[in-house]
Amino acid sequence: MIAVDVVVPVHGKWDLTERCLETLRSRDACVRAVIVVDDASLDDTAARLRERDDVVPVFLERNVGFSAACNAGARRATADAVLFLNNDTLVPPGAIGRLAQELTADATIGAAGPRLLYADGTVQSAGGTVAASTGEAARAFISLDGDAPEVNVPGDYIALTGAALLVRREAFDAVGGFDEVYRNGFEDVDLGMKLWTAGWRVRYVPEAAIVHLEGASRGRAHDEEANRGAFGQRWGPYLDMIPRFALSDPPCLLVAWKNRAPIDALARGRVAEMLRRHAGARATFGRSPFARGYAAIAAALDRRALVRIAYAAGGPRDVTWIAPRDAADARTQHVPPEGPIWVPSQRAKRFAIDAGVDPRRVAIVHLGFACEDPPPRFDRVVVVTTRDAPPARLKAIERAVAPASTLVIDAEAADDAARDAVRSARTVVFASAGDAWGLLGGEALAAGALVVAPVDAPFLEYLPSDAFVGAESADAVADAAAAVRADPELFASHALRARREIVRRLPDVYAGHRVRELARTFVHGVPDPRAVAITPEIARALRSGPAPRTAR
């Protein structure tokens, strides 16, 4: 099998780099070396790298950006292929080997990329194409389920994301590597175009899956216009040869929200904020004739479809949104016999399936959390419970955290005051899994509180174990709380990690994108991957096209 060197460009954020390197510790047999390029980090990244014996460090004297840092790492590499890898990726065993198999089996493939997933298993990238409306590079399957059939079709695409891209060394050198005219954006699409016009193929390999905490390592908005201009200048004549993805407008959303409990009113506010900021679709809340009329008029003016979403309510709907506490609760929530079902967590999905819902109908839509400035903290412990939690368990928790003062909150009855109390507490202990939405737990984590909870709580599903104090069961929560009380310094770092991780893994921007794409595919369907892939005829046209212009 072809040998691989891994190149990881980094600029600060050592915690991300360390976690990425930990996932690479169990190396696939094809991996020869891991090269970490420190792009003039301002934190202690350089010192940390010097302490490690499992990486080859490269230190740059000034910050040069992603393209130049990758090129510097490639110059240090000696293997026949180089995997360029963002430091905010998590690589499971076997993924690199599967990509290397693709290059080993077919000498015409110049680059191969994996199915790139968000932390919750939805798609961040599954092959690049061009949007029909803008003529720019686009991701056709973003935010869809990672196990969707359309996402798991291998094929040739015009480009793949540079966050995790294996490139044959011969091909990389032949096209001059990453063009350093691009700074943190478009360099991966440009590389794909260069490979195709030079006679190489770019292959999407869905069997290899890598998690990408996209946007955690850096932003790129300030470079976007310059990068877009340089790319358009170079490749404009070629873009008409590439299959177009009909990126239709997202539909208008009419959300009917019947509050069954006070916690549902809090969830409604979170959903409203997420839709308003990130869904890219006009959304109207309410079941009144005015709301329905306004949504219909808005849809007609925008020439958009109207999707009706109902939470815990009867009446007409296209999508049903539920947050069941258990399977019995799911059976009471007016689930229709057909149509999509949205739930806020994996736990809720299991309950819906246990209630008899076809798994293919169920999609997880997290509420999402924004990294707001935390409020002033009170030196008390907030205990979140539910009505079915036995009194003896609460007494045990209160003894475990004594002599600290405690405030007990009923999750289902939680209102704005309860939310503020959770956000302002130094420690929040969950006597059960908490509310069905995972809202109070997510709020506590996003505010930087130390959270003690059963490991099956819905808000912990995608977080690493060092972001909270987990108990194997609800009955063991008191013991976990006692351990924290006995040695608070041992757990002091958990709160900071919690705040970081919740907004990396379950941010409201991704939740909004998820709603937008699910609503769009409900109306327009999922693109046929074969219709947007590069065919042999297109490949021949790209190879024989005009000489690329110089990008500036």
CB neighbour list of residue 537: distance below 8 Å, 6 or more residues apart = none
- pLDDT tens by residue, 157-175: 998 999 999 999 999 999 9
Sort 483 into a burial class: Cβ within 10 Å, 0-12 / 13-18 / 19+. middle
Helix (H, G, I), strand (E, B) or coil at 59: strand
The percent of residues in the chain predicted with pLDDT above 90, rounded, is 65
So what's the pLDDT on residue 301?
61
Matching CATH topology for 4-246 and 378-505?
no
In the numeric block, the tokens 């110059």 are attached to 75
CB neighbour list of residue 392: distance below 8 Å, 6 or more residues apart = none
Distances (CA, A) of 8 to 16, 35, 134, 217: 11, 6, 32, 12
So what's the pLDDT on residue 39?
95
So what's the pLDDT on residue 222?
53
Query: Average pLDDT of 253-260?
Result: 86
Distance of CA 211 to the CA centre of its chain: 8
Spatial contact of 438 and 367, defined as CB atoms under 8 Å apart? yes
So what's the pLDDT on residue 219?
44
Q: Is the pLDDT of residue 27 over 50?
A: yes
> Across the chain, which distance is largest between two alpha carbons, in Å?
77
So what's the pLDDT on residue 113?
97
So what's the pLDDT on residue 82?
98
So what's the pLDDT on residue 532?
87
So what's the pLDDT on residue 133?
62
So what's the pLDDT on residue 496?
87
So what's the pLDDT on residue 228?
80
Amino acid (one-letter) located at 192: G
Instruction: Name which of 19-23, 296-300, 473-477 the model is least confident about.
Output: 296-300
Instruction: Name which of 36-40, 126-130, 132-136, 283-287 the model is least confident about.
Output: 132-136
Task: Place 134 in a pLDDT band, splitting at 50, 70 and 90.
Answer: low
CA separation for the pair 117, 131 (Å, rounded):
21
Q: Is the pLDDT of residue 114 over 50?
A: yes
Query: Average pLDDT of 196-221?
Result: 82
Instruction: Name which of 227-236, 270-279, 477-486 the model is least confident about.
Output: 227-236
CA separation for the pair 551, 229 (Å, rounded):
8
Classify residue 213 by its DSSP letter.
-
Q: Is the pLDDT of residue 220 over 70?
A: no
Q: Is the pLDDT of residue 456 over 80?
A: yes
CA separation for the pair 449, 460 (Å, rounded):
14
Query: Does residue 223 or residue 362 have the better pLDDT?
Result: 362
So what's the pLDDT on residue 132?
63
So what's the pLDDT on residue 56?
96
So what's the pLDDT on residue 284?
78
Task: Place 237 in a pLDDT band, splitting at 50, 70 and 90.
Answer: confident
So what's the pLDDT on residue 176?
95
Spatial contact of 180 and 65, defined as CB atoms under 8 Å apart? yes
CA separation for the pair 140, 526 (Å, rounded):
8
So what's the pLDDT on residue 138?
77
- pLDDT tens by residue, 373-404: 778 888 889 999 998 899 999 999 999 999 98
CA separation for the pair 403, 241 (Å, rounded):
71
460, two tokens: 């912990």
DSSP 164-198: EEEEEHHHHHHTTSS-TTS-SSSHHHHHHHHHHHT
Q: Is the pLDDT of residue 50 over 50?
A: yes
Task: Place 225 in a pLDDT band, splitting at 50, 70 and 90.
Answer: confident
Domain ranges of the chain: 4-246, 252-367+507-517, 378-505
Distances (CA, A) of 242 to 108, 236, 542: 19, 11, 9
So what's the pLDDT on residue 287?
65
What is the topology classification, in CATH, of domain 378-505? Rossmann fold (3.40.50)
Domain 252-367+507-517 has CATH 3.30.70: no
Task: Place 217 in a pLDDT band, splitting at 50, 70 and 90.
Answer: very low
169, two tokens: 């060394």
- pLDDT tens by residue, 396-442: 999 999 998 899 999 999 999 999 999 999 999 999 999 999 999 99
Spatial contact of 4 and 208, defined as CB atoms under 8 Å apart? no
What average pLDDT does the structure give for the chain? 89
Output phi, psi for 534, to 5 deg. Answer: -85, 120
Query: Average pLDDT of 241-247?
Result: 79
The percent of residues in the chain predicted with pLDDT above 70, rounded, is 93
- pLDDT tens by residue, 309-341: 999 776 788 999 999 999 999 998 878 889 999
So what's the pLDDT on residue 229?
80
Instruction: Name which of 147-156, 190-199, 245-254 the model is least confident about.
Output: 245-254
Domain 4-246 has CATH 3.30.930.10: no
Q: Please state, as a whole number, how many other Cβ atoms lie within 10 Å of the Cβ of residue 138.
A: 17
Output phi, psi for 17, to 5 deg. Answer: -60, -45
Classify residue 126 by its DSSP letter.
S
Spatial contact of 440 and 346, defined as CB atoms under 8 Å apart? no
Mark 447-460 as b/e (b = at least 16 C-beta within 10 Å): bbbbbbbbbbbbbb
Query: Average pLDDT of 252-265?
Result: 88
Query: Average pLDDT of 480-498?
Result: 91
Q: Is the pLDDT of residue 135 over 70?
A: no
Query: Does residue 260 or residue 100 have the better pLDDT?
Result: 100
Q: Is the peptide bond before 403 cis (omega within 30 degrees of 0)?
A: yes
Nearest of 7, 147, 23, 164 to residue 92 by alpha carbon: 23
Query: Average pLDDT of 449-464?
Result: 94
Task: Place 291 in a pLDDT band, splitting at 50, 70 and 90.
Answer: low
